[in-house]
């Protein structure tokens, strides 16, 4: 099973990737990230795969450690 997935989110001032980036470049900006995931049908059902993807994308968007630095999160997923 292949799933194309996309996360849309905004970042909090505590986001670890912001560094010295001026606030006007990230405040209230909607960021997106997308990826394609492949799962073995014998080991994954669709809902389990989508739950994994939501967690994975949130970690990426949050800076790699957790998702506490993002908000207004939305996901789009399509089985292809």
pLDDT tens digit sequence for 4-40: 999 999 999 999 999 889 999 999 999 999 999 999 9
pLDDT tens digit sequence for 54-76: 999 999 999 988 999 999 999 99
Cβ atoms 58, 21 nearer than 8 A: no
Residue appearing with tokens 């908000």 = 71
The whole-number pLDDT of residue 42 equals 85
Each domain of the chain, given as residue ranges in start order, spans 2-79
Sign (positive or negative) of CA dihedral 42, 46, 8, 62: negative
Cβ atoms 6, 32 nearer than 8 A: yes
């Amino acid at each position: 099973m292949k799933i194309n997935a996309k996360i849309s989110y905004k970042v909090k001032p505590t986001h670890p990737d912001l560094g010295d980036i001026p606030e006007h470049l990230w405040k209230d900006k909607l960021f997106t990230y997308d990826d394609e995931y492949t799962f073995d049908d014998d080991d994954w059902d669709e809902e389990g795969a989508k739950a994994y993807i939501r967690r994975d994308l949130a970690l990426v968007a949050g800076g790699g450690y957790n998702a506490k630095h993002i908000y207004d999160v939305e996901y789009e997923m399509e089985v292809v």
